[in-house]
A and B are shown apart, each in its own frame.
Chain A
Amino acid sequence: MIDCIDEGVRDALPDFVHGKLSELDRATLTAHVEGCGACSAEVALLRAVRSSASMAPAIDVARIVASLPVSLRIADVGALDHHSRPKGADAANAAGRRALWRIAAAVAVISLAGLSVVMGNRNESDSVAAAAGNSAPGVLPGTEVAQPGAPRQQAVVEGAAGTEGRAVAEGGGVAEGGAVASAAGAARSTSPGIDQSNDVPAFAIVAGLENLSDEHLELLLNEMDTIESIPSSEPEGVALPLENLEGIE
């Protein structure tokens, strides 16, 4: 099979076969091919290649379209001429806006719920600490002691702790775990009435270390030396019999 000497024509033959030439070029090339055996043979070969290539499977257009990402470029919609906008575009954009509003509303609700939980926890912690600080005679001066492990529903202080100057723990103030504060663990070693079964110091000093006396500080440090590690589970509450706490201070 010989080649035509006109490379320009040979270059254009695939476009000729695909019908991509202008009418003028097509007419010119048709005339050339009819008189050129090499180009005529090459055109036949090109057509044979094309026809032998139709082995591709049928494509499910709808399935592909369904898998495409949805365009949510709503900002672009405003830039379009309303009259030239396709009919389906308005509905699609309205749906897009509704979806965005729903997402925004969901985020707002979740944020409010999370904020309320955080505020609730803070209020409860404050009340427990305040009750302990105001009422428990075993608390050292200037030291706020809270019981982070005490169950919240049991942290109810009966009576007016602020007015009477003491709080009575629910359940008698013993092992059931009330809202009574321990005296920073140091009191535990000096108070025989404390429930010694609870070896885990259930306290948290939130302020005023500098206000501890040397004696209490030493006791506290000794107590801390016995702590092996941070408990992995929530510690049980410690309740002190009130009559045993009065002598601590």
Chain B
Amino acid sequence: MIPGTQSSGEDTDQQLIERWRAGDSRAATKIVSRHADALARFASSSGEREEIEELVQDTFVRAFGSLDSFRGDSSLRTWLFTIERRLMLDRRRAEMRQRTMVPIESMDAATEYDALDGLLADETENRVRKAVDSLSPKQREIFLLRVEQGLSYREIAAVVGSTEGAARVHYHNAMRAVKEFLDD
């Protein structure tokens, strides 16, 4: 059981999966309700600006279509993040092919949130967001999985296809970079 994914007394994700496999569609509703917002935030934090709901929907469709391959080694949320991350990478690759644009690495989000900056009423939050956006894509992804989603280093490693140690190093480097940005 992953802390924060369900409160005590509620079915675990694994129990809900079994209920869905038995034909209980309400279990699917509970699973989607439980994880949809986190997936949307992860997509938004990763720089997705358009069709986030479609992305979340595709993530669930793909996940439910291959639930048989979910062994439960990781949490369901981690698995969902992994699927969503692959979908986002596919999207970006497709966009790159369409626009014959610069590589992903140069798609730093320094300006990606400009349109939304005005919505951030609090100046502190605005500066924090810019500090996060100044991180490299890899650092930002790991930093936000740790801070926004609360994933452990082990779960982060599973999502991004890295090691627990590497995830930890990236997180601390990112934290240091954010602090330096804010100190300037």
Contact = CB atoms under 8 A, between A and B. Distances in A.
A64 B52 CA distance: 12
B178 A76 contact: no
Given A20-B4, A77-B23, A92-B23, A45 B179 contact: yes
A46 B125 CA distance: 11
Contacts of A226: none
A62 B25 CA distance: 11
Contact of B28 (A11, A59, A65, A89): A65
Interface residues of B, number: 57
Does more than half of chain A's interface fall in helix, strand or loop, or is it mixed?
A: helix
Interface stretch (B34-42, B70-78, B84-92): B34-42
B147 A50 contact: yes
Nearest to B150: A18
A53 to B, nearest CB: 5
Interface in B18-37: 18-29, 32-33, 36-37
A15 B150 CA distance: 6
10 contacts: A14-B147, A49-B147, A51-B125, A52-B128, A55-B119, A57-B40, A57-B52, A60-B53, A61-B33, A61-B36
Given A55-B44, A56-B37, 19 more contacts: A7-B172, A45-B178, A49-B144, A52-B120, A52-B132, A55-B41, A55-B116, A62-B29, A64-B36, A64-B57, A65-B29, A68-B32, A68-B61, A71-B22, A73-B23, A86-B19, A89-B19, A89-B23, A92-B25
Interface of B: 3-4, 18-29, 32-33, 36-37, 39-41, 43-45, 52-53, 56-57, 60-61, 64-65, 113, 116, 119-120, 122, 124-126, 128-129, 132, 144, 146-148, 150, 152, 168, 172, 175-176, 178-179, 182-183
Interface of A: 1, 3, 7, 10-11, 14-15, 17-20, 42, 45-46, 48-57, 59-65, 67-74, 76-77, 80, 85-86, 88-89, 92-93, 96
